[in-house]
Amino acid sequence: MRRHYIFLLFLSLFSFLSFLSVRNSSAQVELVPVDNNVYDYLQRMLTMKIIKGYNPAVIPVSRSTVADYLNVIKVNSAKISSTDKKLLNDYEIEFQYELTSELKKSSSLFKETGHIFSDDRQKYLYAYADSNATLFFDGIGSLSQRESRGDSIGRHSIGLGELGFRVRGTLFDRVAYYLRASNGQKLSGDSADVTFARYTDPKLFAQYKFQFEQRNFDTFDGYLRYQTEQNWLALTIGRNPVYQGFGFIDRLYLSDNSVPYDFLKLDLAYKSVSYSFLYGSIRGDSLGRQLDAKNIATHRVDIGFGDNFRMGLFESVIISNSPFSFTFLNPISFLTSAELSKASQTGDNNANNSILGLDAYVIPIKNVALQGSLLVDDLEFSTLFESNAKITNKFAWQLGGLWSNAFTLPNLDMRIEYTKLDPFVYSHVSNKSTYTNWDLPLGHHLPPNSDEIAFRFGYDFTNRINLNFMYQFQRSAAGIVTDSVGRIIVNYGGDISNASGYSISDPEFLKGNRVNRGIITANFTWEFLRQFYLEFKYVHRVIDNIYQNVKFTDDYGFATIRVDY
């Protein structure tokens, strides 16, 4: 039934666009997918001081915005490496319509079949553009073989196949539409292999169908978006990934550790000041008991001070068992205060989970960027500077650096980041308003009561071959101690889903059942032909359960061939 509706939607859009008159229009206001490598490219250009004003703390941005930055890079192309020039050429083909209002370097399979394997054209199943509307229709597919072996993860092997489509475009230079849908199939493997696949891929983890039927999975993103001519206002409604925060390796506020959810989002911008409001519906439970409703509201303000310094203020609240609230739908408010003075009171003053964040980004010298982020969970001003076991304020902070052209080697990026999460950060005393979606963290991947030092190297061997290598060292502590009748004596605050006993626990950092982890991750991507990809991922981890005096070693990897046509 869902596929029937999707087909009717596409057919209706296509029929509507076919009647429109002809004139080129390049104001494409649909959003660039968050996994597009152009975001890393823009951040490197910002660090190299090739472009100005780009804000890496708020992703995604519109295609027309990316095109504007590509134009600036082209003007300054004499200052970039030969590989970066080739990457620029690739992006100029990908974003040709936004840059030139033309489709000369693109081809449509439904119109012409001679460019199926062309390496110098952006290929679509169908592309259409006139004075009032555009439509770009793509097919997507992948085959992935995933293997594991190790002490805690076990030996597994599973094959996955996925097929889908993406349709996008802009109407009358102002309204964007976007829909990506796919259906996946397990090609080999048993139920234990399905469990391995789910716990190593957030997209599969958030699939009850895949968990219970052990066969199929399906995903979709889709939205409508309105943007004004000068981009001072944008309104988006739908489902799409949203990242916020300056983290170079992972983000404290909104990250890629969970899956997309449905939301209403308002964006305002004037000169160096930008503002974002989001109200969304997320999936949650309370220690395995499904909640009737769980929502998130966020505000973010970003201010640029000159070309090399930017600050952001973030706040959010997680609202449980309340399907809708005008209190948190108000885009101009202070969410922490709104939570305390909301019109609808349940009698539980701790029902919702509020978070406040402050971050900054600075480029002190060419090729070097630094960032710092602070997060306060459940802010209570009366105890902000006190120290006792019943304080509600919980802190997380992060410091990071990015060095472009590291060690004077062009196209080598080095990132380093330290992150610390106090006990009970992201969790909540009610166990309902945790900072999670589908039990996956909305913020940083670390569990509470943990810290991490991470290094990541990314190198473009060519414009089509990239290698990323990352090392992470993590320290964590968790555990709940009960008496002989099962009453909680102490909770060490290391479980994002369980803050039971918080009020009687002493939240001391790294107190509890200690675990150290050393994790090495390598990602290799080869675009052997435009829009045809070969990808390898390998993870090696050593888990030292200090409290048990036991060590585990695990290895797993993915080999994927992917087409985005």
Report the range of poorest mean pLDDT among 101-105, 171-175, 289-293. 289-293
Please state, in angstroms and rounded to a whole number, the distance separating the CA atoms of residues 306 and 23: 39
**What is the mean pLDDT of the segment spanning 511-539?**
97
pLDDT band at 261 (very low <50, low <70, confident <90, very high): very high
Neighbour tally for 333: CB within 10 Å: 17
More confident residue, 498 or 21: 498
Q: What pLDDT sits at residue 383?
A: 61
Of 312, 379, 320, whose CA–CA distance to 344 is shortest?
Answer: 320
Q: What pLDDT sits at residue 380?
A: 67
| Residue 516 β-bridge partners | 475, 544
Of 557, 561, 426, whose CA–CA distance to 493 is shortest?
Answer: 426
Q: What pLDDT sits at residue 316?
A: 95
The angle subtended at Cα 67 by Cα 63 and Cα 70, nearest 5°, is 140
- Whether 5 shows a pLDDT value over 90: the answer reads no
Please state, in angstroms and rounded to a whole number, the distance separating the CA atoms of residues 187 and 460: 33
pLDDT band at 20 (very low <50, low <70, confident <90, very high): very low
Evaluate whether 99 touches 67 at the Cβ level (below 8 Å).
yes
**What is the mean pLDDT of the segment spanning 262-283?**
96
**What is the mean pLDDT of the segment spanning 306-333?**
87
| Residue 471 β-bridge partners | 455, 520
Domain ranges of the chain: 31-122
Give the pLDDT confidence of 376-407 residue by residue, as tens digits: 997 666 566 665 545 567 999 999 999 999 99
Instruction: Round the average pLDDT of the chain to a whole number and report it.
Output: 90
- Whether 342 shows a pLDDT value over 70: the answer reads no
- Whether 21 shows a pLDDT value over 90: the answer reads no
Of 386, 489, 476, whose CA–CA distance to 422 is shortest?
Answer: 476
Of 353, 398, 400, 403, whose CA–CA distance to 378 is shortest?
Answer: 353
Please state, in angstroms and rounded to a whole number, the distance separating the CA atoms of residues 67 and 75: 13
Residue located via tokens 């981009």: 231
Name every residue whose Cβ is closer than 8 Å to that of residue 511 and which is 6 or more positions away in sequence.
423, 449, 477, 492
Please state, in angstroms and rounded to a whole number, the distance separating the CA atoms of residues 480 and 278: 35
Q: What pLDDT sits at residue 13?
A: 45
For the chain, give the number of residues.
565
pLDDT band at 1 (very low <50, low <70, confident <90, very high): very low
Give the pLDDT confidence of 407-453 residue by residue, as tens digits: 999 999 999 999 999 999 999 988 999 999 999 999 999 999 999 99
Q: What pLDDT sits at residue 344?
A: 53
More confident residue, 391 or 256: 256
**What is the mean pLDDT of the segment spanning 158-184?**
97
Q: What pLDDT sits at residue 341?
A: 61
Q: What pLDDT sits at residue 312?
A: 98
Give the pLDDT confidence of 324-341 residue by residue, as tens digits: 777 788 888 877 777 666
